Structure 1
């Protein structure tokens, strides 16, 4: 598996990550299937797993995905010492909805709960502030993360759904290693709002969430003729083409496609071996420029 450096940390991560969210929502698979999927990802060389305290059915089910990942890592027969688990905090799931909560007291509490959910024996590898809450300043919301780093509960800190200005403010509070924003053929804002360029210049890892468009749009990828044609030409899936396109956009990009079955992560990993020329990238750019 090709690897990349996580931010400026000196720690290497796989060029494709595993997104854990589909394994814990209301449509979640059986636990045995979810664990088998995580194990297959590890077999294939995936060393970055993305999760969140809010990857669950509702508030009564909080931290489900983190606990699932911990169980899978504990049961894995191979070496997991180089596996990085990146979690997030700052979203709530009342009755299955998604709401923001940047209250420092809540974040302090959920950081501790995530630490315990992930095993409680070593610092959280990467803790990311899930989304800025306009009710609280970025400085106030990230103060608990800084304190948790000093306390040894968190190793590295990242942010999610942040603008360039917000990233800069976050970096004044605590060292930031990664930025996780939406980026896919339908949502190319990171190319336009300066975030991708900023991450590349500052050597921050950019983690595109919903890289394949999410459950609502992934089925429409086959309708994008240039993507379908390139997939046929190269003998790979349309999903591999999209992930390869994202990786070709910048060396700082590490896609985090979600998976809940073995075949999905196997297909995603194949994207690492798909190399697109600048002309092929431009073809996809043109075909997706009017989507949204």
Structure 2
């Protein structure tokens, strides 16, 4: 698989794997999830994105991180080439998603993620979301301190604006930004987030690149996607991922998966080459 650069010299596969579907309610068996992760790694994917809150509730914190650590330990490939990115700054009380990016909470979350992943330093640690109740500089400042202490190698941001990227960069180098982005939800383009990442040499990790489980219906209803997919012998989801790859060299889509068959589709998407006319047709 081709590679793309994040900030600070990080080189990863042009597509990553999002771990969330393997750990929420209704998740697949551990055996199936490990098969999914191994299929991704065997296919050349070197970036796995997770979070401490990819779990059922607060009693299950770290489930996805532990799952990925177990899968990596059992994989026979070169683990040194795999970058695992995780996040802190949310909680899951009673299964809800609650922002909590207080400095002391981020520190505790980071240390818990170190244990869950079984590592001495997290390769890429991302602020999951700005917390309206906490000064953004305080949250990012704690990640800067964790980096200075050697607990984090690189800092990333998630669900942020272009202005917040600049605020964070004044405190610590930023390697990546992870926001929702797909052919239907283009706010990251429209609000200048991707352009700012391009200008600064920061990688943009596009989550929900096919819109999530609910977004797939929108893709299926998109006539242009359907026409182009038929032309390439592909699915609309594969074209949606190929569109992101074609739109900017800064973008690394991170589709989630819970079945090995989904990995095969993701890998096919990385090989689709859209023409200029097809890109214009999609807008």
Give the aligned partner of residue 219 of structure 2.
221
Q: Which runs of 5+ in 2 are unaligned?
A: none
State TM-score, norm by structure 2.
Answer: 0.98
Query: In the alignment, is the contact (CA less than 8 A) between 2:144 and 2:171 conserved in 1?
Result: yes
Write the mapping of 1:22-37 to structure 2, written as runs, cut at 5 A: 22-37=21-36
Distance 1:193 1:149 in 2: 29
Distance 1:192 1:273 in 2: 27
Q: Deviations over 1:7-58 (max 9, x none)?
A: 1x22310000000000000021000000000000000000000000110000
Distance 2:127 2:143 in 1: 8
Give the aligned partner of residue 2 of structure 1.
2
Give the aligned partner of residue 154 of structure 2.
156
Which residue of 188, 197, 202 maps to 1:190?
188
Give the aligned partner of residue 105 of structure 1.
104
Q: Deviations over 1:190-224 (max 9, x none)?
A: 11111111111111000111110111121331211
> Once superposed, what is the RMSD of the aligned Cα atoms?
0.9
| 2:275 is aligned with 1:260 | no
Aligned length in residues: 283
Give the aligned partner of residue 75 of structure 2.
76
- 2:81 aligns to what SS in structure 1? coil
Distance 2:218 2:160 in 1: 27
Distance 2:171 2:41 in 1: 34
Write the mapping of 1:19-98 to structure 2, written as runs, cut at 5 A: 19-98=18-97
Distance 1:248 1:142 in 2: 31
Give the aligned partner of residue 244 of structure 2.
246
Q: Deviations over 1:260-280 (max 9, x none)?
A: 110111101111111112221
Q: Which runs of 5+ in 1 are unaligned?
A: 286-292
Distance 1:94 1:216 in 2: 24
State TM-score, norm by structure 1.
Answer: 0.95
Distance 2:179 2:11 in 1: 21
Write the mapping of 1:197-216 to structure 2, written as runs, cut at 5 A: 197-216=195-214
**Deviation of the 1:107 alpha carbon:** 0.5
- 2:180 aligns to what SS in structure 1? coil
Distance 1:102 1:161 in 2: 13
Q: Which 4+ stretches in 1 moved above 3 angstroms?
A: none
**Deviation of the 1:185 alpha carbon:** 2.4
Distance 2:226 2:91 in 1: 37
Query: In the alignment, is the contact (CA less than 8 A) between 2:183 and 2:243 conserved in 1?
Result: no
Distance 2:166 2:218 in 1: 36
**Deviation of the 1:186 alpha carbon:** 2.4
Query: In the alignment, is the contact (CA less than 8 A) between 2:49 and 2:254 conserved in 1?
Result: yes
Query: In the alignment, is the contact (CA less than 8 A) between 2:89 and 2:128 conserved in 1?
Result: yes
